[in-house]
């Protein structure tokens, strides 16, 4: 008989005006990996926050039974004492502290007024070995990549004697190799140490790879729990549970009408802004045609974002050399402004950090990159601005009560639409979309794909940078594969497969 480690019974959590969770039930067996899937806003994170004590006992209804006893957590500290450790999507590590210092922050080894550094480093080493991270405990967090930082978080959790590990979107900012390594680590910890994990993820292929059970949450309620070996674990089966309908086609069809070359980049080289001798983009030659969706595939850190931003008015990098031709004519794009003027738009991958002004309404975010279009001799025509914002809100089906709504209050998918609206309003001919569907739910993804199709139907060029291979394959007419700053392959939509792309990357990786 398998032992139930955690049971959440009839959890109901209400925020002013909304019922975020409605009678949710979750049963996790000791030693399993349990995936929690659902669209954004379905209530996954809320449920985990109830479990970890972020929302204390009393602020929700229902029972948490952990290890056979009913728990009433008043704070995160209480749940951690029981061995429930949550690792959030945004990592909580301090860049200018060492790995060891970070691991024992708030949990220091030694006495109250004297930290035992030997013990700290020894313990840190021990847990780093368990997760297989070969870095000195003295390395600063800022000097290691996100993938390794994720491992530090797990080591930190283990050092707190975690029995139940909760990972919220652990691979959202990792590349394929790092993601796979992380998932394999979870499997290994399960085998070797009997560690139980709950993993929240949007990446369904990973979920079916790693999970023993999958619980689907939709609109604040549990829909079903699938068990490996018993139920169908395919992506389409999971999606069906999440959206409540079959998505026969994850990518909308389009008829391609590809025209002449709209932009060509030749012999493009970019160096790192801080480490001046590190070449981030290495002799890249690419072109994109009118009416074409050009995919750029590659692992995280392959230099795709750097390539895009350096083209977009040299907003990244140093010592940039090379030529850009737009409609056959050479142009100098030294500032973002000149790039916009030549019909370029760059929709950033980091919509909160680099894209939107969260404290401002939809209206202001929509027009900020092209204020001239709604103003006369520097005086803004607020009525025009308002109607422009409303127009784009309707066109892109942005869900918000009004265009006066602050962007910070919108869901990820709707924020992404506002960001797209901002750049569509600059009336570009060439749009570079950098991870346009990262962290947004399946329904919103489909709508974004439709917008992309609409853009190319108007004869615009779209450069689609994405780490999700199915997305690149499903949307692009042509695909460049990038690795370590170089273009390592070019494939037509007809011939491209996930295997071929990975093979191109792996051939050059070394």
Partner 1 sequence: MNKENVLGFLKKNTMIIVLIIVVAFFSWRTGGAILLPMNVSNLISQNAYVFILATGMLLCILTGGNIDLSVGSVVCFVGAIGALLMVNVGAPVWLTIIVMILIGTAIGAFQGFWIAFVRIPPFIVTLAGMLAFRGLSNVVLNGLTVSIKDQTTFVNLFGGGADCYIHDFIGNGSLNLTCLFGGILAASALVLLQILSRIKKKQNGYELESVFAFGGKIVILAGVIIAFAYKLAQHKGIPTVLIWVLVVVIIYGYITSNTTVGRYFYAVGGNEKATKLSGIDTNRVYFLAYTNMGFLAALAGMVTIARLTSAQPTYGQNYEMDAIGSCFIGGASAYGGIGTVPGVIVGAVLMGVINLGMSLMGVDANMQKVVKGVVLLAAVIFDVVSKRGGKMIVKN
Smaller CB separation from partner 1, 106 or 494: 106
Member of 70, 92, 371, 509 binding partner 1 (CB under 8 A): 371
Q: Given strand 196-200, what is the order of strands in its sheet?
A: 84-87, 164-168, 196-200, 33-37, 213-218, 221-227
Asked whether 12 and 22 are in contact (CB, 8 A), the reply is yes
Is 358 a residue that touches partner 1 (CB under 8 A)?
Answer: yes
Q: Which residue, 68, 56, 57, 62, is CA-closest to 24?
A: 62
Is 58 a residue that touches partner 1 (CB under 8 A)?
Answer: no
**Contacting residues for 212 by C-beta, under 8 A, at least 6 apart:** 29, 32, 33, 34, 227, 228
Member of 107, 319, 402, 497 binding partner 1 (CB under 8 A): 402
| Least distance in angstroms from the C-beta of 132 to partner 1 | 32
Collapsing DSSP to helix, strand or coil, 429 comes out as coil
Structure tokens at 459: 């004869």
Alpha helices (H) along 300-356 = 304-311, 336-341
| Least distance in angstroms from the C-beta of 360 to partner 1 | 5
Is 107 a residue that touches partner 1 (CB under 8 A)?
Answer: no
Is 274 a residue that touches partner 1 (CB under 8 A)?
Answer: no
Asked whether 195 and 166 are in contact (CB, 8 A), the reply is no
Size of the site for partner 1 (CB under 8 A): 36
Q: Of all helices (H) and strands (E), which one includes residue 3?
A: none
Q: Counting every residue, how long is the chain?
A: 510
Taking residues 288 to 327 in sequence order and writing x for each that binds partner 1 by CB under 8 A, - otherwise, the string is ------------------------xx-x------------
Smaller CB separation from partner 1, 126 or 332: 332
Contacts 24+ apart (CB under 8 A), 75-78: 76/52, 77/53, 78/53
| Least distance in angstroms from the C-beta of 385 to partner 1 | 10
Is 360 a residue that touches partner 1 (CB under 8 A)?
Answer: yes
Could you tell me whether strands 478-483 and 293-298 are parallel, antiparallel, or unpaired per DSSP bridges? parallel
Smaller CB separation from partner 1, 26 or 308: 308
Smaller CB separation from partner 1, 289 or 304: 304
Is 488 a residue that touches partner 1 (CB under 8 A)?
Answer: no
Is 390 a residue that touches partner 1 (CB under 8 A)?
Answer: yes
Member of 337, 457, 497, 509 binding partner 1 (CB under 8 A): 337
Question: Which residues of this chain interact with partner 1, rule CB under 8 A?
Answer: 75, 312-313, 315, 335-337, 339-340, 346, 348, 353-360, 364, 368-369, 371-372, 375, 378-380, 382-383, 386-387, 390, 402, 404, 422
């Amino acid at each position: 008989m398998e032992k139930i480690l955690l049971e959440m019974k009839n959890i109901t959590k209400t925020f002013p005006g909304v019922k975020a969770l409605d009678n949710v039930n979750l049963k996790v067996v000791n030693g399993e990996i349990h995936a929690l899937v659902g669209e954004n806003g379905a209530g996954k994170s809320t449920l985990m926050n109830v479990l970890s004590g972020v929302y204390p006992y009393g602020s929700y209804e229902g029972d948490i039974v952990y290890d056979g006893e009913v728990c009433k957590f008043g704070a995160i500290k209480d749940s951690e004492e029981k061995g429930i450790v949550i690792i959030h999507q945004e990592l909580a590590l301090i860049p200018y502290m060492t790995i060891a210092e970070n691991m024992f922050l708030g949990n220091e080894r030694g006495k109250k007024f004297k930290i035992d550094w030997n013990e700290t480093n020894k313990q840190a080493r021990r847990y780093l070995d368990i997760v297989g991270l070969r870095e000195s405990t003295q390395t600063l967090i800022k000097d290691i990549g996100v993938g390794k930082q994720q491992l530090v978080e797990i080591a930190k959790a283990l050092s707190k004697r975690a029995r139940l590990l909760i990972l919220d979107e652990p691979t959202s900012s990792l590349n394929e190799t790092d993601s796979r390594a992380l998932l394999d680590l979870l499997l290994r910890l399960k085998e070797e140490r009997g560690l139980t994990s709950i993993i929240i993820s949007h990446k369904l292929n990973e979920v079916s790879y790693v999970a023993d059970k999958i619980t689907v949450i939709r609109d604040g309620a549990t829909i079903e729990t699938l068990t490996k070996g018993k139920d169908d674990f395919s992506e389409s089966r999971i999606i069906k549970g999440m959206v409540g309908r079959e998505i026969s086609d994850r990518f909308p069809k389009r008829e391609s009408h590809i025209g002449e070359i709209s932009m060509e980049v030749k012999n493009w080289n970019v160096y790192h802004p801080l480490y001046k001798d590190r070449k981030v983009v290495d002799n890249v030659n690419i072109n994109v045609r009118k009416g074409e969706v050009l995919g750029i595939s590659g692992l995280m850190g392959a230099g795709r974002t750097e390539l895009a931003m350096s083209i977009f008015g040299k907003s990244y990098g140093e010592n940039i050399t090379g030529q850009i031709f737009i409609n056959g004519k050479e142009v100098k794009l030294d500032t973002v402004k000149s790039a916009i003027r030549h019909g370029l738009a760059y929709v950033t991958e980091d919509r909160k950090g680099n894209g939107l002004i969260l404290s401002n309404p939809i209206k202001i975010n929509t027009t900020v990159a092209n204020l001239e279009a709604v103003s006369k001799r520097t005086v803004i025509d607020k009525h025009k601005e308002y109607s422009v914002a409303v127009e784009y809100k309707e066109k892109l089906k942005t869900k918000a009560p009004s265009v006066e709504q602050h962007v910070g209050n919108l869901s990820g998918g709707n924020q992404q639409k506002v960001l797209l609206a901002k750049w569509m309003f600059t009336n570009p001919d060439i749009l570079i979309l950098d991870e346009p569907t990262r962290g947004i739910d399946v329904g919103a993804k489909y709508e974004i794909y439709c917008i992309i199709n609409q853009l190319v139907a108007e004869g615009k060029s779209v450069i689609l940078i994405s780490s999700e291979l199915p997305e690149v394959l499903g949307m692009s007419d042509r695909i460049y594969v990038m690795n370590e700053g170089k273009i390592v392959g070019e494939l037509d939509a007809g011939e491209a497969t996930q295997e071929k792309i990975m093979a191109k990357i792996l051939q050059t990786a070394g």
